[in-house]
Structure 1
Amino acid sequence: MAGHLARPAGAGPWPAVLLGHDGVGLDDYQRGRADDLARHGYLAFALDYHGGRTFFGEPQAMLDRVLPLLGDPARMLTIGRAALDVLRAEPGADTERLGALGYGAGGRIVLELARTGVSFRALAAVHPGLPDPRAGDWAGTGGTFLLCTGSADPICTPAQVLAFGGALQDAGVDWQAHIYGGAKHAFWAAPTRPDGSPAGGTEHHLPTVPGVGYHAAHAARAWAAVLELFGESLGATPGDAAAAP
């Protein structure tokens, strides 16, 4: 596994954020999220659960790898805890101000960490792979959860998000949900050509799983919501926000 670390300038301490990528892999977008978090004053570590590989244009190969992972909570926890150990050990990490951000299956990994006792002050999950909505699994869980999905996402539906949010609510967890009208799954992923260059438009040129589509406005809105959550819950200082990775 080869993750991506982004740190603000200076010596810290900084609030620390663990980032889990979606099923395609640790790509430029996910690394860019970590870099942008560093620009806003967070020490960010983007984990890797594909061993350095990405699956652009290979939906069946991606599913063959991701679906067994989602069915194996112990393996998700092993990967997540190893990545969290890297983040916590990094000089300048303020482990009392810990956040998590996950996309797709990476969202499920950070949720599994929270479910089993990791004290994230803030957790943002964008169209995550959701566990069964059982309130008892989340008893005693602290922090604030942000759940995001598109109204047209057939993989992480609004109904699933709200059912999971209801379980969090029954467990006494502070949570909020953002449903983006007309957005499909992975609405933040801009279409590219086979060489990785931007293709423009909203439809993907490379093969994908059904229900995937780009929505630029909602991608920006979701990222603003993540930054707002972390600013509220993790409290990066004005000096941190001016730093560069």
Structure 2
Amino acid sequence: MARANPGRAGAGFSNIDLGAASTAAGGSPALRGYLARPAGDGPFPAVLMIHEAFGLDENTVRHADRLAASGYVTLAVDLYSDGGARRCLVATMRSLAAGAGRAFTDLAAARAWLLESGQTTGKIGVIGFCMGGGFALLIAHDGFDAAAVNYGKIPKDPGVLAGSCPIVANFGGRDRTLPEAADKLAAALDGLGVEHDIQEFAAAGHAFLNEVPVGPRLLRPLYRVMGIGPDPQSAPEAWQRIDDHFARHLKDPPSAGR
């Protein structure tokens, strides 16, 4: 079981100050994150988590706690902590579209902090959801051992994915925001020779791994029409695929005789 999470109190569910590491790298001075640890002394394999467009919220915390319960020290970095979602969303999305900018500096600083924390085995994965899935794709080549991409946008130039670590990806067949994304990503990774396991869940939409709906209540009927929201039927299989992928690439193989 994961340890209790003291970071649930306070703005943005953040409990880790990454500001010094980020500032030293030229990133956000007020960068924060949510850290979830497995029980025990460790060290543990690590996972860097990147939230969806609505920010580091209750769903992000639940995702991080879930991975911690599976044996990974998990750092969910809050890309909006230095100014809030209203101020940071546009700049962060521009950074994603450009493939460069402060958001990438912040993610690199968070990765370095996690590996230098003394809590990890040195194996590290990255997982992202929605906007975060797009970021996870773009940094999968940058020192990670495995990546999990959930309904993330595919870059216009798929060539930037060359040299990526093994990728598992989950998409929703009812997701109108990412039509044919699973097939497009599979074709791109096939052409680049990147190891991958991609699946589209026919009954699921965008953000189907969330446990609770997100966004303004007034817009939620529109989100349902667009195929956005939790799908408790598809989510367990998607999570099992993530668990299997991370276990294969991040956990030490069993010794002979086990």
TM (normalized to structure 2)?
Answer: 0.75
In the other structure, the counterpart of 2:107 is 80
Q: Separation in 1 of the partners of 2:127 and 2:39?
A: 21
Query: What displacement does 1:13 show?
Result: 2.0
Are the structure 2 counterparts of residues 11 and 213 from structure 1 closer, same or farther at C-alpha, using a change threshold of 3 Å? closer
Query: What displacement does 1:173 show?
Result: 0.8
Query: What displacement does 1:148 show?
Result: 0.8
In the other structure, the counterpart of 2:219 is 207
Query: What displacement does 1:67 show?
Result: 3.3
| Matching residue within 221, 225, 241 for 2:237 | 221
- Counterpart of 1:11, as a letter, is D
Query: What displacement does 1:79 show?
Result: 2.1
Query: What displacement does 1:114 show?
Result: 2.0
| Structure 2 gap segments, 5+ residues each | 1-30
Q: Separation in 1 of the partners of 2:198 and 2:70?
A: 23
Checking the alignment, whether the CA contact within 8 Å between 1:192 and 1:206 is kept in structure 2 is no
In the other structure, the counterpart of 1:28 is 58
Query: What displacement does 1:10 show?
Result: 2.9
- Counterpart of 1:223, as a letter, is W
- Counterpart of 1:83, as a letter, is A
Q: What CA RMSD, in Å, does the superposition of the two structures yield over aligned residues?
A: 2.7
Checking the alignment, whether the CA contact within 8 Å between 2:173 and 2:202 is kept in structure 1 is yes
Are the structure 2 counterparts of residues 193 and 123 from structure 1 closer, same or farther at C-alpha, using a change threshold of 3 Å? closer
SS at match of 2:148: strand
Q: Separation in 2 of the partners of 1:133 and 1:193?
A: 30
Q: How many residues align?
A: 219
Checking the alignment, whether the CA contact within 8 Å between 2:59 and 2:211 is kept in structure 1 is no
Q: Separation in 2 of the partners of 1:193 and 1:46?
A: 17
Q: Which one scores higher on RCO, CA 8 angstroms, separation ≥ 6?
A: 1
In the other structure, the counterpart of 2:47 is 17
Query: What displacement does 1:164 show?
Result: 2.1
Which residues of 2 match residues 156-195 of structure 1 at below 5 A? 156-157=178-179, 159-191=180-212
Query: What displacement does 1:101 show?
Result: 0.6
TM (normalized to structure 1)?
Answer: 0.78
Whether 2:140 is the aligned partner of 1:114: answer yes
